[in-house]
Amino acid sequence: MKILKKEKSDLKLAMILLFPSMFLILLLVAYPMISNIQISFFEQPVNPLLPATFVGFGNYIDILKDGEFFKSLGLTFLYTFLAVAGSTAFGLAVAIFFNRPFRFRKIARSLIILSYVTPSISLVFAWKYMFNNGYGIINFLGEDVFHLFDHAPLWFDNPISSFILVVLFAIWRYFPYAFISLLAILQTIDTTLYEAAEIDGASTWQKFKIVTLPAIMPVLVTVITLRSIWLFYMFTDVYLLTNKVDILGIYLYETAFAFNDLGKAASISVILFIILSIVIVLSRKRVKF
């Protein structure tokens, strides 16, 4: 009886301690999600004093009939894939390089993470300055120094070059996250495993495949999953860099605040949540931890 009373007392204490966190989760996550789903079934006016009109699945049907939505969806998948693959591969390569002692390693690590901790607005304007048509360093080097082109390109006014630049920006901006996470797990690998593989005649690639990759796989999958979520919903970086890359974040923003169609925008976010959830579940099932 004493053990049972103690367990009940511990459970009560645990519930009391967890209540503030649970309340915040319900307030900041659950309530907005439920409210967003509710709005997606209405034609919601911008003025909250005006009544909303119930349209059922009308907003979802309109989206699925909209060719621009599927165009933005495909562009978003391509952007997410290239940015995640590039930033993860680059971060892993840099982490492997830094997983050894050399002079000024700590200073170099600090410099690498600068792009990740610096506010996005500062980095965006630095990139726009570098690629400026009149005084950017890229056009100066390409046109005046190396004569790679006859006239300075308008980098952020062309859809193709704009897309390439936003992908490169995302890779450069977010590779330190993969670098930090993968370097931490690389430093836990026993060096004797590499020595044993080397004695057996394993090449550099074989040592990476047999020793390194299985050890870092749980962290690697987590990095890819989290980065995919963040980049799939990307808005700020792309919106500030250019208006020529209509990924879903831009499409959703314009639907909500340019066309004032809040119900349709809410239904877009629900569809995106469903798509991303399915992709993440399927991708994680294919990986054995």
What are the pLDDT digits (tens) for 88-99?
A: 999 999 999 888
Flag whether pLDDT at 3 surpasses 70.
Answer: no
Average pLDDT over residues 117-122: 86
38 found inside a domain: no
pLDDT of residue 142: 83
185 found inside a domain: yes
30 found inside a domain: no
Average pLDDT, the chain: 86
Q: What are the start-end ranges of the E strands in 12-98?
A: 42-43, 53-54
Flag whether pLDDT at 137 surpasses 80.
Answer: yes
Average pLDDT over residues 23-27: 83
Average pLDDT over residues 135-151: 81
pTM of the model: 0.85
Contact criterion met (CB below 8 Å) for 155 and 131: yes
31 found inside a domain: no
pLDDT of residue 61: 92
pLDDT of residue 194: 85
Within 13 A of 93's CA, how many CA atoms are on the CB side? 8
3 found inside a domain: no
- Residue 79: Cβ-neighbour burial (10 angstroms; 0-12, 13-18, 19+): buried
245 found inside a domain: yes
pLDDT of residue 60: 92
Which of 65-79, 147-161, 207-221, 244-258 shows the lowest mean pLDDT across its residues?
147-161
Among residues 235, 259, 258, which one has the least CA distance to residue 246?
235
Q: Which domain, by its residues, includes 116?
A: 67-285
Contacts (Cβ under 8 Å, ≥6 apart) of 43: 52, 53, 54, 55, 58, 59, 263
Which residues, in sequence order, are bridge partners of residue 43?
53
- Any idea what the CATH number is for the domain that residue 170 is in? 1.10.3720.10
Contacts (Cβ under 8 Å, ≥6 apart) of 138: 130, 131, 155
Flag whether pLDDT at 106 surpasses 90.
Answer: no
Instruction: Supply 273's token pair.
Output: 């949540």
43 found inside a domain: no
22 found inside a domain: no
Residue 289: which pLDDT band, with cuts at 50, 70 and 90?
very low
Total structural domains within the chain: 1
